[in-house]
Chain A
Amino acid sequence: MSYVPNTVAEQEAMLREVGATSIEDLLAPIPAEVRLKRPLDLPPALGEPDVRRLLMALAEQNADLDHYPSFLGAGSYDHVIPSVVPQLFKRSEFYTSYTPYQPELSQGMLQAIYEFQTMVCELTEMEVANASLYDGSTSVVEATLMAVGPSGRGEVVVSRALDPQYRATLKVYAWARGFTLREVGLEDGATSLTALQEAITPDTKAVIVQHPNFFGSLEDMRAIEKVTHASKALLIVAITEPASLGVIAPPGAYNADIVAAEGQSLGSPMGYGGPALGLFATRSELVRRAPGRLVGKTVDNRGQTGYVLTLQTREQHIRRERATSNICTNQSLLALAATIYLASLGKQGFQAMARQCLQKAHHAQQRIAEIPGFSPLFSRPFFDEFAMATPLPAEQINAALRDRSIIGGYELARDYPEFGDALLFCVTEHRTRDEIETLATALEEITGSAE
């Protein structure tokens, strides 16, 4: 399979045109001592049908969510994706374009991103949003770096209820950049307010809390905000499940300074965790410190409305070592998918979707709680995820669910040994009552409480 269009004869003619006798003449600047003197050791080329067969065979070894109802969330969520979303964002005028450096030929993408920024502002009730970052975890990192500022020093307080993978990512950047992380412990599956108060010092630049948190629980964000802003720290709200914003109070309502979120829930395929969609929003007065691309509205030389990349003096291609971030390529196509998704669900549909998640998750939690040995691990309100103590080791339950073609919950002990045997279940609007019943019945069978 080759995508090089020019024939051998054409290439020979081109070589003559440039005054070379062979391609070797053009490669002459590459010294012999660094040349690869053998072919690359890779499998031989395959034709299109053979490649398709090969990839199909690999794909079929994976448990896809169409065949395995999933009760696993923990950062990646199985929401309904309306068919218009992939049909539209996969239009190749979009996906085969580069970052819109030449706005006159990129108005489609620029306008879509402007709409995206608006929708992110609407969802979060923040004043400005950027054009996307890599994913939720790196968005939290960028938010933290922004709060820490150019010195790279200071302290950052982070809740233990922040997604463990996000905390791990943050730890690496904190070490490299040179700021200190302090972790705040939990109380009833939420950030401990007393511990938070104790952790904050005059050196604290930011407080990071996930909402809903990793256990699906809702935090007391108003109290957290007070404690945070009583010092000069910025409040960074991490969100891994933005579907929650259809029904729970958004960060703008409780004075968040920066929102760093994962937008996969909004119309992107789960794709084994990537590409994902980093959402980033903040207050207007902080925009010049923000990372990433921003699209702004302007006019052309005929007075017509148009869109451009703007406030670029923050960015690496201009500011180089003093840039607010090193990001260049982002996740625009997924931002486009989110835009189409949100337009498609619309004002009513987005709320209705969130309420379905809430209702179905509570139905499932109540149903599972009826099974002997299963009990809610925490008592706080939740959105579409909830933690249950289990009567058997969590891995054993999940293995048995797997045999029944069900993807079970997240085994909390992987990251929180203090909770012992427990599963974090997720139930979105995509799950049906029948699937929930199948899960509950399976749990009954597995734990021996079935009649």
Chain B
Amino acid sequence: MSVEKLIFEKGAPGRHSDVLPAMDVPEQPLDDLLPAEFQRATPAALPEVSEIEVVRHYTHLSQRNFGVDVGFYPLGSCTMKYNPKINEETASMPGFARIHPLASESMTQGAIQLLYELERYIAEITGMQRVTLQPAAGAHGEITGLMIIKAYHESRGDIHRDIVLIPDGAHGTNPASATLANYQTVELKSDKRGGVDVAHLKEMLAKYEGKIAALMMTNPNTLGVFDERIVEIAQLVHDAGGQLYYDGANANAIMGITRPGDMGFDVVHLNLHKTMSTPHGGGGPGAGPIGVAKHLVPFLPGPLPAHGREGYYWQDAGPQSIGRVRANFGNFLVLVRAYTYIRSNGPDGLRHISESAVLNANYLMQALKSDYLLPYDRTCMHEFVLSADRQKALGVSALDIAKRILDFGMYPPTIYFPLIVHEALMIEPTETETLETLDEFIAVMRQIAREAREEPSLLLDAPHVTVVGRLDQTLAARKPDLCWRPDVRAGRPAEVAETANTR
């Protein structure tokens, strides 16, 4: 247990590190260059610390953080696999890290070539015609895909389609993205086996005849089960004039085995920060490229990488393109990592990854289903969802179980998602975990199930060995303290506090 002061509470006035280049041009009076009314009145109250203080502070913070490099991270839906170090090395090469997006094409041939090839690899892996690499994350891919679908319907004069169907197990970004594209969402029920309830789908398609713009789904879905009726579902939606959007968050289960394009999907995003091993960075950056079927290619954002007699170049989007969805070309350094990963693994390697991810998940599921309720008891893909309902009856929740797992030096599963499972514990081990780690996790989960019966206070008070104990979320939301106030900083002149606080 310990507290690390904020960087603002460290240092002393006047302390700094020397990191600036020489001021080697003749200095002119500030007022001559910048009339007074444009000048900043009070400097930003940034820290005043020496280099060693910066280094120690952020090193300490890193020690108060847990990543895949530290231990097991079975956070469902997030695919927390090992992030290969060679990817970090290639993404740091100056020829990638230190290039300007607006430099001429002749000065960035290697970058455009890499993106050109990566686009084709992703198209092949997803079974789609072409790909845009612009979206910065999965949710950004979703809104981009929905805008493409919207443009497609509009191009056909089909302007009354304003509904997007979304299964009840879907991730929150799906409905949020649909709203952004100005669609109404209609929730689809799941059936007893965890797939889309096809009878309900038919009912909704009939009820909203002529109004369905798209169905968004992921397969395997958020329960980790593969929807066997996907071909029928795709057929039904297409017959009703809708398009199929594939949320690729779960693509780690299917590489080289099946492809969204072959299942009938029209738009697919991949979360490269999940499936393609690019690190999640404590919350980002990721990359969420989308692939589209042939009929949607004209609507893709531009520009797109192209190859001609003069080498690689950026081809402007055509007249039907929706336009661009961000500045520049995408999260390039993330794309470099994904490219590195695909080249390292090759076609057989990618398939082996998915098969191993499926095996690891099934291994855990079989071992844990006697101690925890498994609401959908069938072969899973790369992840599975347990319910803590049995423990809940003893007064212990999924949250308490998650907090207790922390005491064993592991990150817990995703909890309370998907919403269709009570007290959900969503477990995704990924393919990069050893048998020993899986066995260790099984032992921990069994011990916790036993503690829930015999010594529930161990769970209710957990975690016990982390740097802080269970944190008060209610207080945080009721009295939001989102930034360190200069007026409570000791030793700061009052006027600094005042200016910084006025809007």
Contact = CB atoms under 8 A, between A and B. Distances in A.
**Of listed A27, A253, A275, residue having the most chain B CB within 10 A:** A275
B60 to A, nearest CB: 8
Given A65-B99, A331-B285, A432-B24, A168 B323 contact: yes
7 contacts: A6-B434, A17-B366, A55-B343, A108-B62, A176-B147, A252-B503, A432-B22
Contacts of A98: 73, 75, 78, 80, 280, 282-283, 411
A171 interface: yes
Contacts of A317: 171-172, 417
A23 interface: yes
B277 A320 contact: no
Give the 3 A-B CB pairs with smallest separation, nearest first. Answer: A273-B328, A59-B95, A45-B346
Given A42-B121, A115-B484, A126-B503, A270 B147 contact: no
Given A55-B93, A104-B466, A104-B468, A247 B40 contact: yes
A245 B44 contact: yes
A429 to B, nearest CB: 6
Given A293-B283, A326-B139, A321 B40 contact: no
B406 A96 contact: no
Given A102-B402, A114-B484, A115-B6, A298 B19 contact: no
Contact of A250 (B40, B82, B173, B366): B40
A326 B176 contact: yes
Contacts of B17: 82, 84, 344-346, 349
Nearest to B11: A346
B345 A112 contact: no
A442 interface: no
A105 B66 contact: yes
B490 interface: no
Contacts of B248: none
Contacts of B262: 34-36
B63 A176 contact: no
A21 interface: no
Contacts of B254: 30
B275 interface: no
Nearest to A44: B346
A222 B35 CA distance: 14
Interface in A37-59: 39-46, 48, 51-52, 54-59
B282 A99 contact: yes
Contact of A104 (B38, B288, B463): B463
B40 A246 contact: yes
Nearest to B484: A118
Interface stretch (A183-191, A199-207, A308-316): A308-316
Contacts of B288: 329
A392 interface: no
A275 B334 contact: yes
B432 A3 contact: yes
B495 interface: no
Nearest to B283: A332
B104 to A, nearest CB: 7
Given A63-B103, A96-B69, A253-B41, A270 B97 contact: yes
Given A64-B99, A326-B180, 6 more contacts: A30-B226, A61-B109, A94-B282, A137-B326, A169-B324, A345-B16
Interface string A66-107: 101010101110101010101111111111111111111111
Nearest to B249: A328
A143 B28 CA distance: 37
A304 B3 contact: yes
Contacts of B150: 176
Contacts of B16: 345-349
B466 to A, nearest CB: 4
A100 B19 CA distance: 31
Nearest to B50: A346
B239 interface: no
A57 to B, nearest CB: 7
B257 A137 contact: no
Contact of A2 (B21, B33, B255, B349): B349
Contact of A136 (B54, B327, B348): B327
A119 B6 CA distance: 12
A339 B61 CA distance: 12
Nearest to A27: B257
Contacts of B137: 134, 327-330
B308 interface: no
B503 A255 contact: yes
Contacts of A262: 327
Nearest to B380: A26
Interface in A137-167: 137-138, 145, 152, 163, 165-166
A363 B26 contact: yes
A352 B46 CA distance: 13
A274 B329 contact: yes
A379 to B, nearest CB: 12
Interface string B6-41: 111001001111011111111110100111011111
Contacts of B20: 80, 345, 349, 352-353, 356, 429
Contacts of A93: 62-63, 65-67, 69-70
B28 A362 contact: yes
A234 interface: no
Contacts of B326: 134-135, 137-138, 165, 169, 274
B499 interface: yes
Given A62-B99, A63-B99, A273-B327, A326 B256 contact: no
Contact of A344 (B19, B28, B107, B342): B19
A34 to B, nearest CB: 5
A413 interface: no
A66 B98 contact: yes
Contact of B34 (A5, A90, A173, A248): A248
Contacts of B101: 75-76, 270, 272-274
Contact of A330 (B95, B284, B358, B503): B284
A301 B461 contact: yes
A441 interface: no
A172 B182 CA distance: 12
B140 A134 contact: yes
B433 A5 contact: yes
A17 B90 CA distance: 39
Interface stretch (A8-16, A370-378, A443-451): A8-16
A218 interface: yes
**Of listed B14, B283, B326, residue having the most chain A CB within 10 A:** B283
